[in-house]
Chain A
Amino acid sequence: MTVALAWRILTYDKGRTALALVGIFMAILLVFIQLGLFFAVPQGGMLLYDNMRFDLLLVSNQYEYQAQPGAFPLSRLAAVRGSPDVAEATPLYFGVAKWKGGVGGVWPDLFVIGFDPASDVFTPDSIDRQRGVLARADTILVDTTTRPMFGPLDTGRVVEIGDRDQTIGGRYVLGTGFMGLGVALASDSNFARLFPRRGLSEANIGAIRLKPGVDPEHAAADLRKLTGPGTQLFTRARLTARETSYWTTRTSVGLIFGSGLLISIVVGIMVVYQIVSTQVSRQLPQFATLKAIGYADGALAVTVAAMSLMIAVAGFAPALAAALWLYREIREKTLLPVTMSASHVAAVLMAALAMAAVSALLAVGGLRRADPADVF
């Protein structure tokens, strides 16, 4: 009865219900946006790792986050190779050099990743297919999301990078994340030519792949004895936790989108509450009548709660659709990996239901005051 009554009230005043839906729709959409951005930032920081094959990552103990990793002697990685647990250990080198061919004469900074092109450490197909290209002297592959200020990224274009002319051998799809405005892949020997002072004696990260069936946690404990002081060894899970906490706690990201999330939830509560409480006050004589003929406060409260929940659920689906569209827009505009996951959907649905519940709770107060004797 109570749920049916809620339905009747909502469908009786269609205009008002439509308004309620728009309101909750906007609020849920905003929750989606804030949540999406909140998670996109650490995901942007994880972009390189998410596109690499490894079970354990060897880094310096000065490691801050991916783009500020510190460096460790290559011998540390070599020591690991001898272990029976290890299938492969690949060093990666990071450097930043001037791209002396930007639009309008600017020299944007290029983030260069050096690696052995014989290694299949990167997962993207576009890199795998073009590894042979990197074996050519002074040839690089550029990331497709390198900013327009770098000028055309056509294959065959020759650009001075640092102090050397480099040929663009092709483009690959990975994403620039927070590495910089432009990212390029180079063979390790080419990297050494681009950064002559730096050389290849120190690597920035070491991607370690274990033999099938080896437990990463156990292997990490064993390998730590081999890598020695000055280094750290992360499992994927530890690395993810670390990068995420870096971006959410050490930068302002967490606070900006976290507070946005909180305020959008409160705004959602306010808008549902306004609408439901208006409904309650409009229907007060009817509610009072119901009370007079013996319905308990509880039953009426359930009606109000049902109204709120129906509005929230009905507003959720279009908000999800709009969020999917907006995520794509934000992805294209900001290059941030704003993606929808099942857990986001579930979390926002929970938030929407919570918003509805709280606003119902607030609105029920008005109902309790409905005194049959007073209303008429």
Chain B
Amino acid sequence: MATAFFSLAGRAGWRPVPLAWRSLTANKRRLLRSSAGIGFAVLLMLMQLGFEKAFFDAALEVLRGLDGDIFLQSAHKYQFATQDPFPASILATAKTVPGVASARPLYADWFDLFWKSPFDGKSYLVRGLAFDPDEPVLLFPEVEAQRARLKTPGTVLVDRRARRFLGMDQPAAQAELNGTKVAVVGSFALGPDFMSDGTVVMSDRTFADVLHGAAGSPPGVEAGVIKLAAGADRGAVLAALKKSLPAGIAVMTKDQLIAFERAFQADVSSAGPIFAIGTIVGFVVGILISYQIIFTEVSDQLPQYATLKAIGYPNVYLLRVVLEQAALNGIAGWVPAWLLSLGLYRLIGRIALLPMRLSLGIALLSLGLTLGMCLISAAIAVGRVIRADPAAVF
């Protein structure tokens, strides 16, 4: 904005005096005060936006980590994290569909797996993910690297980012799942979501062993993970799968699966509106603070503005200077808030085990909101400059 203005001014034949910049930096104490004021309003918005994103990301982390192009799950599922397995024969049928390179099973359980912490001896419900170690379905690099170790029956990988009380973040060679001793042969970093406190990854065989007591029969497939053959058309394979599989099986692309889960979370959780309230409050308070700042600055510099007017600068020029100054104020508040939130995101992400990511989207959105609130307040405050009568000021 500043550069745009300078060049505009240059083209119009004015000497590009960085007036807005000069008035911003004229009073260091006031600059500090204004960036602190705007900065905290921005920080509030950044934190609320971050929490909202983290809430959804936590629920989507596992789905994003699935290594496939097309997914099969029971059509009765209302969310991914619920038990509704289908028979393995469905995958056999899927494999016969032209264009399908592989159709692999993912086994999962959210309700029946109890992890006995090796440290406090208490049992906690955990999420279990399982697959055939020769047919991997997860994208997590650490799981992939340690996959071969899972071939030994009775071995598991645990989530280092599970909630602390599970004791998965500390090295332990042995633990118990549903009363069966298991060897912990490695770990990965995933994190809890709002349903599960921690995750255990194992082979399909170990999964069947530890669940034997609970389910009694071999576990069904929770999701089918399909990869397309080279050159196969995704839309065509999707349609062919829908045709050859029973109506009780939902066939989805990865994006559709993620959208399905996101829609469920948005429907039941109200995390969106809760964090939106915080963001809106940050925005309105930001307008108020920034209005105070810009109003004071304009008032203090009224004689200068009147002088500019007297020597022939049009109102448009003054308007531009005020808006630009407001934008600079906004940026002066946004930058420290953004830097501070980088640290806060890391800290909260580590303590609360939330996937707090200061994404480009959040950065741009918060910057847009910051500029928006500063420009709105400047537009309100600028009336004073427009009305400034050079004759009256002195």
Contacts and interface: CB of A to CB of B under 8 A. Distances in A.
Given A106-B77, A256-B352, A267 B288 contact: no
A26 interface: yes
Nearest to A273: B37
B183 interface: no
Interface stretch (A73-81, A95-103, A306-314, A349-357): A95-103
Contact of A107 (B37, B76, B288): B76
A270 B51 contact: no
Per DSSP, are chain B's interface residues mostly helix, strand or loop, or mixed? helix
Contact of A264 (B44, B111, B273, B348): B44
Contact of A277 (B33, B163, B274, B278): B33
Nearest to A263: B44
A26 B284 contact: yes
Contacts of A96: 111
B214 to A, nearest CB: 9
B123 A23 contact: no
Q: Which range contains the number of B residues in contact with the other chain?
A: 35 or more
Nearest to A256: B51
Interface stretch (A27-35, A44-52, A164-172, A208-216): A27-35
A105 B293 contact: no
Interface in A1-48: 19, 22-23, 26-27, 29-30, 33-34, 37
B84 interface: yes
A259 B293 CA distance: 26
Identify which of A26, A70, A333 gathers the most chain B CB atoms within 10 Å of its CB.
A26
B353 A108 contact: no
A23 B274 contact: no
B190 to A, nearest CB: 15
A105 to B, nearest CB: 6
B41 A109 contact: no
Given A96-B111, A267-B41, A274 B33 contact: yes
B88 interface: no
A340 interface: no
Contacts of B123: 62, 70
Contact of A181 (B47, B111, B268): B268
Interface string A94-126: 001010101001111100000000000000000
A93 B125 CA distance: 18
Interface string B35-61: 011001101100110010000000000
Contacts of B267: 149
Contacts of A127: none
Given A30-B281, A252-B353, A270 B289 contact: yes
Contacts of B295: 278
Interface string B264-301: 00011110011001100110110011011101100100
A229 to B, nearest CB: 13
B165 interface: yes
A255 B352 contact: yes
Contacts of A22: 284, 288
A37 B43 CA distance: 20
25 contacts: A19-B292, A22-B288, A23-B289, A26-B285, A30-B277, A30-B281, A30-B285, A61-B122, A106-B78, A108-B82, A149-B267, A181-B268, A259-B348, A263-B43, A264-B278, A266-B40, A274-B37, A274-B289, A274-B292, A277-B33, A281-B296, A330-B270, A333-B270, A333-B273, A334-B270
- Top 10 nearest A-B pairs (CB, nearest first) are A252-B352, A107-B76, A106-B78, A334-B270, A23-B288, A255-B352, A274-B292, A30-B281, A270-B37, A270-B40
